[in-house]
Amino acid sequence: MGEISERAAVRRLHDRFGFGPRPGALGVGFETTVARLFGTAAEGGVAPPALPALGVAAKGDKEAKKAANKSRARQELEVSSWWLERMVAGERATERMAWFWHGHFATSNQKVRSAQLMLAQNQVFRAQGRGSFTALARAMIVDAALIKWLDGNDNRKGSPNENLAREFLELFTLGIGHYAEVDVFEGARALTGWTVRRTSVKPVFRAKRHDGDPKTIFGKTGDFDAAGFADLALAKPESAAFVVGRIWFRLVSATPPPAATVERLVAAYGSGRDIQAVLTAIAADPAFRDSASAMVKQPVEWAVGLMRALGIRPSALDDKTRLKVLAGLKGMGQVPFRPPSVGGWPSGASWLTTSAGVARLQLAQLLAKQADLGQLEKSSARVDGVRVLLGVDAWTDRTRNALAGLTDPAQLIAVAACAPEYVVSG
């Protein structure tokens, strides 16, 4: 295992637990950076947009339906832009963990069709994403957006729908091979009764739809409800390793950590299922500094990191430009609130397709034109200047030679932002 330098380790902290360093951030020590990222003081930021409830168009009223769809699209744009703003502005790991949990409990507005429900779920990720996984899992199993996404409205006594119960076990808490089909069926029975109304962001428990008869889940029998089902899943010994493994996979490396690291992370997770303790343990573990733990940045992480480096705030962009930013992210294959499936987004080389590369360059050009590049224009060492600005450790000779031929600062930024040294977090 090769170990990266102290400066590279600080940059990796910003990449993995935030959305990239701001200019000057790499001059701060590792422990100080850890303390800043994992600080507990609440952050301010732009308040979430006010989203009025949308009316239900009468059947056959095409104009009303068209207007409602237009309003939904507008609200989703507002919420997506607001979240990008928070990602750019955030100084702690809170927003990065909200983004992680959005991919873990992956829910798409394509089916939910309610920016209000997606925003409410997002606020739970932000409030609880660094606390107890018990509390987060309990909140998610009765989350209105997740219920709609995984057909919880169709789950009732006498006719259980297994979708939410199955994904809760397979993707959210345990992983494949650690539950039986009977656990899925009985778990679905435990989840009966929860429904979502069009007029509220909060789910409603309807006792008449709940199956109150005894259920047997993981060999234990009782009148389990949603919280009881969640607790039974988390109590399985395989759950802790699964959860910390997913955090490692998305934040550190696609290569599983050494057994000794897993033991340390599970110990930090503990009986309280403390997410913050796991993050701190990851940063302190020797495996975190392994030079082989490179990761391709997801499109949203890449774009937000570039905006942070360039001092661009999404809230300052006009609607047309914000739409272009989201179109660029869509071209790369990733838009907030639109994961492709309940399994979340892909990782690694999946983001390095030719079409994604073209969209990445176009978005980089758009963002570079929004930035104040006065200092770079005056610099006589622009290639090194853009390296420092983007927080890149070093350029390869090939990249340096390619950048050296560019005279326009905006084009230099755009090409540099698409270089492997920036697209991949080493």
Residue 205 pairs in a beta bridge with 194
Burial group, residue 62, by CB count within 10 angstroms (0-12, 13-18, 19+): exposed
**Which pLDDT band, with edges at 50, 70 and 90, does 418 fall under?**
very high
Residue 222 pairs in a beta bridge with 215
The pLDDT assigned to 342 comes to 97
156-215 residue pLDDT tens: 999 999 999 999 999 999 999 999 999 999 999 999 999 998 878 899 999 999 999 999
Strands 215-217 and 295-296: unpaired
The pLDDT assigned to 208 comes to 95
User: How far is C-alpha 146 from the chain's CA centre?
Assistant: 15
Calpha distance 97→284 (Å, rounded): 18
- Tell me the one-letter amino acid at 78: E
User: What is the per-residue burial (b if ≥16 Cβ within 10 Å, else e) of 175-184?
Assistant: beebbeeebb
DSSP assignment of 263-281: HHHHHHHTTTTBHHHHHHH
Q: Do 31 and 293 meet the contact criterion of CB atoms below 8 Å apart?
A: no
The pLDDT assigned to 69 comes to 87
Encoded tokens for 3 = 């170990």
62-84 residue pLDDT tens: 888 888 889 999 999 999 999 99
Encoded tokens for 351 = 């983001």
**Which pLDDT band, with edges at 50, 70 and 90, does 52 fall under?**
confident
The pLDDT assigned to 1 comes to 59
Identify the three-state secondary structure at position 296: strand
Q: Identify the CA nearest to 233 among candidates 141, 115, 150, 119.
A: 141
- Name the residue with tokens 């750019």: 88
Encoded tokens for 69 = 């769809």
**Which pLDDT band, with edges at 50, 70 and 90, does 377 fall under?**
confident
Q: Do 111 and 337 meet the contact criterion of CB atoms below 8 Å apart?
A: no
